Amino acid sequence: MTPEMTPSLMGLAIGAAVGVLDFLVLTFIGNKMAKKAVEHEATLNETRQVTSFMRNMGLISLILFPIIGYFAGPYVFGSYFESVGG
């Protein structure tokens, strides 16, 4: 018996991929902002705030995008599966 890829799981997979990409982009942006802050003589505490905020936003998106994708998948992919008999 092979597992089926339901519309919910397709949404979950796409949401996870978008969440990982968003996490990487936000972490990259946070690191770049921290380097700019150091160049402009920011304190260590200010630099940590920048990177931790961007990393936390990335972690939130890493959690939320798969959840949203799981519930949005049937709305996006459901009509395709009905047309092919899935």
| Euclidean distance between CA atoms 74 and 12, whole angstroms | 10
Tell me which range, 4-8, 14-18, 50-54, 71-75, is most confidently predicted by mean pLDDT. Answer: 14-18
Residue 85 has pLDDT above 60, yes or no: no
Per-domain residue ranges for the chain? 7-83
Higher per-residue confidence, 85 vs 20: 20
| Residue 80 pLDDT class (50, 70, 90 cuts) | low
Per residue in 29-77, pLDDT (tens digit) is: 988 888 887 777 778 787 888 888 889 999 999 999 999 999 999 888 8
At residue 16, the pLDDT reads: 96
**Cα separations (Å) of 21 from 29, 47, 80?**
12, 23, 26
| Euclidean distance between CA atoms 24 and 29, whole angstroms | 9
